[in-house]
Amino acid sequence: MTQAGPAIHEIQESLPGHRVVLRDGADITLESGATLGPVTVAYQTWGTLNEDRSNVVLICHALTGDQYAVGTHPITGKDGWWESMVGPGKPIDTDRFFVVCPNCLGGCMGTTGPAAVNPKTGELYGTNFPVITIRDMVNAQVMLMDELGIEKILCVVGGSMGGMQVLEWAARHRERVESAVCIAGAARHSAQNIAFHEVGRQAIMADPDWCNGLYYKEGKRPESGLSVARMAAHITYLSEPALWRKFGRSLQDRFNKSYGFDADFQVESYLRHQGSTFVNRFDANAYLYITRAMDYFDLETEFDGDLANAWKDIETRFLLVSFTSDWLFPTSESKEVVRSLNRAGANVSFVEIESDKGHDAFLLDEPDLFATAGGFIDSVAREAGI
C-alpha cells in the first residue's frame, strides 16, 4: 500500500530532543568488523548533572522502546514508556539524578539506523545498514558518555533488551559502572526467543511492500508484515492470566460469533490494534536489525563458557529483578546471571516479583519493583554521597 505523509527520515529529523554526532563523525568499527559512520545518537535527559558529574543514571530501552521514557511521545502523543519509574520523587528520581536515555544504535528515533540517511551517499541505509549487536549499541552509549564528559555512571538500568545492555556495560566497562539494574533480562537470548524473532522477521520480509528492504524508495512500507510481527511479539510480552483477565473469551462489539474471520474476539481486536498502531511509530527494517542484535547476544560464550569470568573481582553492585509470569525472559535466566555473580563473589541482590502480567510487568505498575529498584538506587546514591 502507498504511504501518505512525510518520509521516514523527515519524521526522524524533526523529532525533539538532543542529538550528538559521535567522534566528530569518524567511522566506528562494529563487532562484526564492518565500519559505520558518521554515527548520530539521539537522546533525552532529565534532571541536572551535579558538579562532580557523579549523579548519572543511564536508561537502556527495550526492543521497541525509545529515548522518550518520560513525557509526551512526539509521534504517538502518549505518555513515556517509563513514567512509573522515572520522575520527581520516583524510584529514578529526576530531582536527584541526571537521567540520560539514548535511542539505541539501529533504532528509528533519530539515532543512526536503517531508517536514517547515510551521510556519505545521501541515501537511506535500508538493508545496506550493517548488522549490529548489543555490544555495538553499548559502545555507542559509551561514546555518548564520552561526548557528554561523563566518566562514571552511578547506575545503568534497563529492562528486557535494556537489561542485556546493562549486563554488557558491566561486563566490558565495569570501571565506569557504579551499579547495574537488570530487569527481566538475560545474559543470552534463548532458542525460543530467537525463534519468535525469526517469525517476526519472516512476516516483515514476506510482505511485498518490504521491497527487499528498500521500501522507502518505493514510497511504501511493509505495514501488514510489521503488524503481524508486532502481534506475535506482543503475545510473548503478556501471559495467559493477563490476557484472560483483560479479555477472556469475550466477543468484540457483537453478541454472536460471526462464523467468519473477522476479529470476533476482543483479544484479536486488541492485537490487531497493537499491530496497526505500531507501524506508525516503528520502522520495519529497524525491527529486523534490533531483533537480530538481541539474537546474537550471548555473554556466556563470549566469556569462555562461564559468565563468572566476566565478573571476576568486579566492584559494580548488581540488582537483578524477574517476574514470576514472564516466560520470555523467565526467572531462570536472571538466576543464571545471579549464580554467575555469586560464583565470582560479586555484590548482587536479586528478587523475583510475584506478578501475573508477564514480561511487560517491568513497564507496568508493580509496587514491589518500585520498592526494590528504588531502595537499591537510593542506597547506591547514599553511599556515593548523593
Partner 1 sequence: MSLLSGARDRFILGENAFGLRPDLGLVASMIEPESRLLDVGCDDGALLEYLVKEQGCDGRGMEISQTGVNACVARGLPVVQGDADRHLVDYPDDSFDYVILSHTMQAVHHPRDVLGQLLRIADTAIVSILNYGHWRARMSMVTRGRMPHTRTLSTPWFETANIRPCTVRDFLDLTRMLGIRVGRAYGISKGTEVTVIKPNFEGQANLFSEQAVFELFRPEAPKKRRGKPRGG
Residues forming the site for partner 1 (CB under 8 A): 313-315, 317, 319, 335, 338-339, 342-354, 368, 371-372, 374-376, 378-380, 382-383
Q: Which residue number, 253 or 313, has a Cβ lying nearer to partner 1?
A: 313
CA distance linking residue 30 with residue 24, whole number of Å: 17
Q: Which residue number, 8 or 319, has a Cβ lying nearer to partner 1?
A: 319
CA atoms within 13 A on the CB side of 14: 8
Q: Which residue number, 41 or 348, has a Cβ lying nearer to partner 1?
A: 348
Q: How far is the CB of 130 from partner 1 (least distance, A)?
A: 37
Query: Grid coordinates in use for 41?
Result: 545518537
Q: Which residue number, 178 or 295, has a Cβ lying nearer to partner 1?
A: 178
Q: Which residues are catalytic?
A: 160, 326, 359
Tell me which residue has cell 505500531: 278
Q: Which residue number, 281 or 343, has a Cβ lying nearer to partner 1?
A: 343
Q: Is the torsion defined by CA of 171, 294, 106, 280 positive or negative?
A: negative
Query: Grid coordinates in use for 353?
Result: 516479583
φ and ψ of 320, to 5 deg: -115, 140
Query: Grid coordinates in use for 229?
Result: 510481527
Q: How far is the CB of 242 from partner 1 (least distance, A)?
A: 20
CA distance linking residue 386 with residue 375, whole number of Å: 14
Q: How far is the CB of 98 from partner 1 (least distance, A)?
A: 21
Q: How far is the CB of 66 from partner 1 (least distance, A)?
A: 29
CA distance linking residue 231 with residue 373, whole number of Å: 30
Nearest to 94 by CA among 139, 54, 49, 128: 49
Query: Grid coordinates in use for 185?
Result: 533480562
CA distance linking residue 7 with residue 196, whole number of Å: 29
Q: How far is the CB of 379 from partner 1 (least distance, A)?
A: 3
